[in-house]
Copies of this chain bind each other. A is one copy, B any other.
């Protein structure tokens, strides 16, 4: 067999592995903001609607053209992207590195569980908003379709481990499984977590039980 034959064999083997085992692609989340309709209007003006810059991997979700500046006790970060569509709750997701820069102690929390979390100041083109709560570092999680969940015996809200190969080989434990018919397979990590593993968007992690 010639060199191309060997390469093809290796590629076919890798594809089979990715298909037959619970591998999930990573989406690395930079700091971002979810806004309620009311809070969007405070920052951008009455009747304002988000405009789409690009679709995200999860169906219906998009990165907006709109950004805000976030201002904490120790520092500020400009050009923080808003993700659409609008939600019931305003929530700012930052990395712990961002938290140190801003001077804010962002707790690691599941999305939506913002009770008791710190607030921060948001500055938009038409107004300023003092968030009373809602600043979190997102608990790492995997979006999973019901089909994938059934195939690999995963339950909604189950905690699993996800393994990544490479020079910064790592197993993230305590990873939340979230199942919905609106989801496609994707593991969300923040920039600290992706850098600690030496990976970028598109890397594949392998789900392990326990």
Which B residues lie within 8 Å of A173 (CB)? 169-171
Chain B CB within 8 A of A196 CB: yes
Copy total for this chain? 2
For the complex, would chain A's binding face be called helix, strand, loop or mixed by DSSP majority? mixed
- A174 contacts the other chain (Cβ, under 8 Å)? yes
Chain-B contact segment, one of A61-69, A112-120, A123-131, A187-195: A187-195
A residues 151-210 touching B (CB-CB < 8 Å)? 167-174, 191-193, 195-198
Q: Is the CB of A196 within 8 A of B196?
A: yes
A58 interface residue (CB < 8 Å to B): no
| A147 lies within 8 A of chain B by Cβ | no
Report whether B198 and A196 are in contact in the complex, using a CB–CB cutoff of 8 Å: no
- With a cutoff of 8 Å between Cβ atoms, the chain B residues found around residue A196 in the complex are 172, 192-193, 195-197
Would you give the shortest CB distance from A56 to chain B, in whole angstroms?
Answer: 21
CA of A59 to CA of B14, assembled, Å? 47
- Chain A residues with CB under 8 Å of chain B are 95-97, 108, 139-140, 167-174, 191-193, 195-198
Supplied contacts A139-B167, A170-B170, A171-B173, 18 more A-B pairs, CB within 8 Å: A95-B195, A96-B198, A97-B97, A97-B191, A97-B195, A108-B167, A108-B168, A140-B168, A168-B172, A168-B174, A170-B171, A172-B196, A191-B192, A192-B192, A192-B195, A193-B195, A193-B196, A196-B196
A sample of 25 cross-chain residue pairs with beta-carbon separation below 8 angstroms, ordered by A number, consists of: A96-B195, A97-B192, A108-B167, A108-B168, A108-B198, A139-B167, A140-B168, A167-B174, A168-B172, A168-B193, A169-B172, A169-B173, A169-B174, A170-B170, A170-B172, A170-B173, A171-B171, A171-B173, A172-B196, A191-B192, A192-B192, A192-B195, A193-B195, A196-B196, A196-B197
